[in-house]
Structure 1
Amino acid sequence: MASTMLRSRILSIASRTNKPNRRFFCSNKESTISSQSITSDQSAAAGEAPAQAVGGSENKAWNFFMYGIAGALTGATAFAGYASYAYSLDEVEEKTKALRESVNYTAGNDASNVEKYQGLLYSTAMTVPAKAVELYLDMRRLLEEHVKGFTEPASEKLLPDLHPAEQHVFTLVLDLNETIIYSDWKRDRGWRTFKRPGVDDFLQHVGRFYEIVVYSDQLSMYVDPVVERLDTNHFIRYRLSRSATKYQDGKHYRDLSKLNRDPGKILYVSGHAFENSLQPENSVPIKAFKTDEMGEVPLDTALLDLIPFLEYVARNSPSDIRKVLASYERKDVGKEFLERSKDYQRRMQEQRQQGRIWHR
């Protein structure tokens, strides 16, 4: 019994003495865990920091690479645009000839190995810019050929060869709108086309002496039906429409040099002769034909006034009509010719009256 009580006291004393130690170990364990967690967090943060630094450097390198490509493309585009604006295709080919030939550079047989290696590096380095220039030239050549189909006349010879028996015949080129006809559009009635007074007699008379050609900047779908109704007797041999004009500075010009005729035997009659022809020296200006505000055709004799001059040219056949037209100094040729004829006849009459000229 005594031993049992002694044993219980010893256990109680031991338990009291061990409680502080248990609390001590528990606190140490908690502090150890806390310190371990802090240490692990710090080590993780230290590990993430280099990873973030590496990722940031990679992003900077990639952004630098992309900006470099964008800058190179922008610079190349700007240079190509400037070259297209400032230089013709032949000039660009001439200026880049050395660059394009640098790809084929090779050192001589007597060159050293170092020089041969340097030549190989040089030709390799010049491959990319040379190929870029070749691509630019091919694209520009293709684009200019495509644009040329819209800006240049459809053919270098717009008219067939003149018959050998008609080599002496002059070619009379007539503009269509505001020259021999006038087209007007109004909302209440649509399109109406008016013939110029005297156009039928004009065509019938000069058609005996001239090769007559209508040259318009309108589409053929407009020109053909109008000429068919206008010229029922077929005095007009050929019709040239917009596809035969030269498009330049936003306007369609008549290019008389493409007619396949002697330039010294071409007369271009138009109400806007000097504005829409590339050869003003061949131009015969007349008053532009239009209807009045009420849509009525005014009295007009411009075509009929031109007949005496055209008949004079056809009968006398000057070697170069351009010199004859230059003497009129861009005046109304029909009226000026009539005035000169009257003056000439008056002077001849005066000389006859004075006995200077004998006549039967």
Structure 2
Amino acid sequence: MKMSHKSLCTLIQRLNSSTKLLPVTRSSVLAHRFFSAEGNKPANEAPKILSTLFPQTSTTSPEAEKERQEQEEERRKADEKQAKHMKYGMYVFSGAAFGLTIWSVYEFGSPERDSNGEIIEDEFSSKPVIQQYIQRMWKSMTYYQKMIQEPSRDKLLPDPLKPPYIQPPYTLVLEMKDVLVHPDWTYQTGWRFKKRPGVDKFLEECAKHFEIVVFTADQGMTVFPILDALDPNGYIMYRLVRDATHFVDGHHVKNLNNLNRDLSKVIVIDWDSNSTKLHPDNTFNLGRWAGNDDDTSLFDLVSFLKTIATSEVADVREVLHYYRQFDDPLDKFRENQRILSEQMAELEQQEQVKPKPAVRKWTPSFMGGRS
């Protein structure tokens, strides 16, 4: 049953007048204690009556207060337990780190020994023992860092062939992914590699004038099976993978200084400028192939490379530097060839000079000018 505040005050005032109690105010109503009809002992029903008369008033029983205190105590104990575990964990971690440091110093800083177990003297043997171990460990760590960041060997290719064997005059360095093949993945087939249109003819023609090398930043376990299937005739003479690259600023870079070849005769075909940033003048940037079947870039590229080879260019970097300024080098090459063909046709018509091949030796006409 709900009663308004005004009705409640009127009821209590009537009770006071009959029992000669003091006048009841709002504050006295809120502070009024309820007694049972049997005596002055507080009734157990008082909280219930309060919640009925004043629904907005909340009271907490001793049992609820005790339960709340128990929950707070449990939370406090859980927090203390968690803090204790974290403290022990930090002790264990610090101890493990300290132990690992001591082990590393001992393992990588110990002097080498011969077959008889005798210590081999080195440049650190004359120094204090602790300094010896620390410096040997630092040398070992820098050695492993060098293994990761630098090529696995100084000479990536063997020395050029000696007579009577024939060494091709030029070296062609090819990126595999998105130049010769394109990786494709589906749920049904997984990873597959698609051959670029004209790749077979491209390798066959280039092998007549170039020493072909595939140089890629991919792992050997991925590259070798693909090249075995791509080049059954063995036109690709050498295969260089990730361990032959430099790791610079987060990129695997192809350092041509390690090729063991004359860089004036080296041409790199790649779409990623970061991988050849150490030798931009040796690079011919080819558009990255996305797997489309209407691509004809390799047909134009083989014409460009054959032109360089048959022209007996002394330094290919001059040609590549010229074409590097254009967004589409192959398109510029086609335009230059068209202009040269028109010039040759005009000369033949005038019969002022003897017929000569479109390309014979390196001349300014190769870059679009008149010879």
Q: Same fold (TM over 0.5)?
A: yes
Match of 2:323 in 1: 328
Once the 2 structures are TM-superposed, how far is the Cα of residue 333 of structure 1 from its aligned partner? 3.5
Once the 2 structures are TM-superposed, how far is the Cα of residue 194 of structure 1 from its aligned partner? 0.2
Match of 1:204 in 2: 204
Match of 2:253 in 1: 253
Task: Give the counterpart letter for 2:157 in structure 1.
Answer: L
Once the 2 structures are TM-superposed, how far is the Cα of residue 261 of structure 1 from its aligned partner? 0.6
Match of 1:287 in 2: 287
Match of 1:154 in 2: 152
Match of 1:180 in 2: 180
Distance 1:336 1:133 in 2: 63
Give the TM-score taking structure 1 as reference length: 0.58
Match of 2:191 in 1: 191
Once the 2 structures are TM-superposed, how far is the Cα of residue 156 of structure 1 from its aligned partner? 0.5
Match of 1:305 in 2: 300
* DSSP-derived class of the 1:159 partner: coil
Root-mean-square deviation over aligned CA pairs: 2.7
Match of 1:142 in 2: 140
Distance 1:348 1:325 in 2: 24
Q: Identify the structure with bigger relative contact order (alpha carbons < 8 Å, sequence gap 6+).
A: 1
Once the 2 structures are TM-superposed, how far is the Cα of residue 258 of structure 1 from its aligned partner? 0.8
Distance 1:177 1:211 in 2: 19
Per-residue CA distance 1:104-123 (angstroms, 9 max, x = gap): 9xxxxxxxxxxxxxxxxxxx
Distance 2:228 2:355 in 1: 49
Match of 2:346 in 1: 350
Distance 1:190 1:167 in 2: 41
Kept after mapping to 2: 8 A contact 1:264/1:321 = yes
Match of 1:20 in 2: none
Kept after mapping to 2: 8 A contact 1:308/1:334 = no
Rg comparison, structure with higher value: 1
Q: From the two aligned structures, give the one with the greater helix fraction.
A: 1
Task: Give the counterpart letter for 2:337 in structure 1.
Answer: S
1:9-20 equivalent positions in 2, closer than 5 A: none
Match of 1:60 in 2: none
Shift in alpha-carbon separation, 1:176–1:161, aligned structure 2, 3 A: same
Once the 2 structures are TM-superposed, how far is the Cα of residue 349 of structure 1 from its aligned partner? 2.9
Distance 2:309 2:346 in 1: 28
Q: Aligned pairs, how many?
A: 230
Asked if 1:262 corresponds to 2:262, the answer is yes
Once the 2 structures are TM-superposed, how far is the Cα of residue 236 of structure 1 from its aligned partner? 0.5
Kept after mapping to 2: 8 A contact 1:306/1:335 = no
Asked if 1:314 corresponds to 2:309, the answer is yes
* DSSP-derived class of the 2:247 partner: strand
* DSSP-derived class of the 1:327 partner: helix
Shift in alpha-carbon separation, 1:134–1:330, aligned structure 2, 3 A: farther
Task: Give the counterpart letter for 1:258 in structure 2.
Answer: N
Distance 1:211 1:155 in 2: 20
Per-residue CA distance 1:149-206 (angstroms, 9 max, x = gap): 1111111101111112445610111100010000122334311110000000101111
Distance 1:204 1:312 in 2: 15
Task: Give the counterpart letter for 1:228 in structure 2.
Answer: D
Match of 1:341 in 2: 337
Once the 2 structures are TM-superposed, how far is the Cα of residue 352 of structure 1 from its aligned partner? 4.6
Task: Give the counterpart letter for 1:229 in structure 2.
Answer: A
Task: Give the counterpart letter for 1:275 in structure 2.
Answer: N
Shift in alpha-carbon separation, 1:148–1:290, aligned structure 2, 3 A: same
Identity %: 33
Task: Give the counterpart letter for 2:332 in structure 1.
Answer: E
Distance 1:197 1:240 in 2: 23
Shift in alpha-carbon separation, 1:219–1:350, aligned structure 2, 3 A: same
Match of 2:74 in 1: none
Moved more, 239-248 or 334-343: 334-343
Distance 2:306 2:171 in 1: 13
Once the 2 structures are TM-superposed, how far is the Cα of residue 317 of structure 1 from its aligned partner? 2.1
Distance 2:134 2:265 in 1: 44
Distance 1:157 1:220 in 2: 18
Match of 1:276 in 2: 275
Kept after mapping to 1: 8 A contact 2:152/2:243 = yes
Match of 2:52 in 1: none
Distance 2:254 2:177 in 1: 13
Distance 1:354 1:304 in 2: 32
Distance 1:135 1:281 in 2: 46
Task: Give the counterpart letter for 1:276 in structure 2.
Answer: S
Once the 2 structures are TM-superposed, how far is the Cα of residue 357 of structure 1 from its aligned partner? 4.1
Stretches of structure 2 that go unaligned for 5 or more consecutive residues are 1-125, 357-371
Shift in alpha-carbon separation, 1:359–1:182, aligned structure 2, 3 A: closer
1:41-52 equivalent positions in 2, closer than 5 A: none
Moved more, 337-346 or 326-335: 326-335
Shift in alpha-carbon separation, 1:168–1:190, aligned structure 2, 3 A: closer
